Structure 1
């Protein structure tokens, strides 16, 4: 292997520990707090809302394991999991092993909690998570563990306060629910009633992120897919695409021009065609489909406002010139099952071989550092050389 490439993951995850929620949650919800358990069939799980759901950690934290060992009913004990999912010191060692200098870190349990029907319960869980993330995880190495907070959005005003609290905690962005708790009263995210929230995000310097699997209609193996179950996997980016279209066609960026939106883990190779198709719709079908007047073409809003993260989407690297490459951000997704860990350096060397140094470095680290205000400058070599020794496929 040649010289390691400097890289920051724009999307990685924790696997929340058993004390993440229960020790910090509003006491009114303590008896319903997510808790760690061992299921006789699945092994390590997080139990949600007194067993309403069980999240199999062996499937969630399957990075580096052979595909034939990954599945919701493959028994995985706690000792088989990546300890960096909850232990920040162990996480730094895992970064070094993978040749990653820093990670923007999202929840795992919190992703699925976005789809929980009880808004008050979501609010309590997200507040507890934000405290744990800031105080127990990111504080260990804030220059390498870049935390993103959560909000339930029971109202616009509460969302603004959540954003301010997230900023005060030192977290660098906000993972949004695909559908806000207050959507039934206020309407979707393009409703101007949400504009104070978007202005607050812009003023606080907090990118708002929409992650796959948080919109209810983008669940792997869920009810809303056609054909064989494998077909459901191809639709998981749809929730993020719908949010992008809602905000672009809804004129949000005309009203709040400094807002930054991150489309997380939905790949990026499809975006040039989406931009073309969106422009085509506005040019040829505005008379009967358009209900808003836009100042610019949809593709222009995407180039200026939409950042996209992706793992091993080789197509995204190939079509970077058809987008604004400054909006593309590579991610490892560690420790999830789609992660490139512990082979990220090998994947990046192959997928970026055709790119010039400037474009490559922008996608691998500079765009992420600029978006989140990170001090890493590309001169600090990750420990990838050492990481190459002893690489394996163990969990």
Structure 2
């Protein structure tokens, strides 16, 4: 796999003159700590990390790939979650919190998966930021559709946050309307497709939850945006404010206040975290390193170098306290 942090200059837009971007893709053997949870704990100790959240990578493409066959999709997601629990655990040693995938395509199966995860001390679940595939040729649904209320209610009652991780959300269909490729290839995204789809899925997903009243019906629900960057936040915030002014009868609540209250955001390391805090408050900014991916940081705690706009209390919030608040935990809950 790619060496951790190999693509740092690429994502910062700071590739040295004369360097081919493809030459940054330095491949190295897969290390034990990438696949073994005890090895990962040792690595975490060396990195100065008390605890981590783990999210699926290729697993995030299952729903789109099997959108036309919901039973197969459900079976595959279930199999992935069983492997994840057996291999990593959902709360291993109280320090490694792996997120199972919850698909909303089949509501009853989603409820069963949540019960399975809750019985095994799950702390966070992963949901695809995308419309929900319909069964038997039925049209797709918004995540905010009341048909999903029992899922949201169960998660809210359990205090388990929902993380929307960057996924194949089917948005290449939009670029295909302009002559671009219809299939998602995470390693070879043409520039126009990237221009069209970047940030769209998470922007629309969070917008659907707010506009379609999910937080009205489930006021304790917590949401996190993971590996979607932060540039979508001010755009959505401004649009929601304008919509509420234009259509006040629809918005019996303050949509911007709901965004700030319910949504935590992990910016990309190249994003301006201080600027994000101006939009949603320092209490909603999450540290994320994406280690050991090539597009992440070589050393997770190097993220503190990106936090020059924060005082010591703000740095502590971003690096630790905010994720504890998201998970409903305290520092005392993490083994020392």
Partner of 1:16: none
* Residue 163 of structure 1 pairs with residue 114 of structure 2: yes
3-state SS of 2:109 partner: helix
Taking a change above 3 Å as real, the CA distance of residues 341 and 99 of structure 1, as seen in their structure-2 partners, is farther
Given the alignment, which residue of 354, 359, 365 partners 2:314? Answer: 359
Partner of 2:132: 180
- The higher relative CO (CA closer than 8 Å, separation ≥ 6) is in 1
Partner of 2:51: 102
Taking a change above 3 Å as real, the CA distance of residues 245 and 196 of structure 1, as seen in their structure-2 partners, is same
Superposed counterparts of 1:144-293, under 5 Å: 144-177=95-128, 178-182=130-134, 184=138, 187-217=141-171, 223=176, 229-234=190-195, 235-284=197-246, 286=247, 293=250
Aligned mates of 2:132, 2:53 — CA distance in 1:
23
Aligned residues between the structures: 311
Deviation per CA, 1:83-126, whole angstroms, max 9, x where unpaired? 32211122223333443322111111211113112322222222
TM-score, length of structure 1 as denominator length: 0.69
> For the Cα contact (< 8 Å) 1:143–1:375, is it kept in 2?
no
Aligned mates of 2:179, 2:333 — CA distance in 1:
45
Superposed counterparts of 1:306-317, under 5 Å: 306-317=263-274
Aligned mates of 1:366, 1:256 — CA distance in 2:
24
More strand by share: 1
1:318 deviates by 3.2
Partner of 2:6: 65
- For structure 2, which runs of at least 5 residues remain unmatched after alignment? 11-18, 181-188
Partner of 1:129: 80
> For the Cα contact (< 8 Å) 1:217–1:224, is it kept in 2?
no
Q: CA RMSD in A?
A: 3.2
Bigger drift between 247-256 and 120-129 goes to: 120-129
Aligned mates of 1:224, 1:168 — CA distance in 2:
44
> For the Cα contact (< 8 Å) 2:4–2:291, is it kept in 1?
yes
Aligned mates of 2:294, 2:113 — CA distance in 1:
30
3-state SS of 1:333 partner: coil
Bigger drift between 240-249 and 308-317 goes to: 308-317
Aligned mates of 1:179, 1:263 — CA distance in 2:
16
Taking a change above 3 Å as real, the CA distance of residues 175 and 331 of structure 1, as seen in their structure-2 partners, is same
1:70 deviates by 8.1
Aligned mates of 1:122, 1:156 — CA distance in 2:
13
Bigger drift between 171-180 and 327-336 goes to: 171-180
Aligned mates of 1:109, 1:83 — CA distance in 2:
19
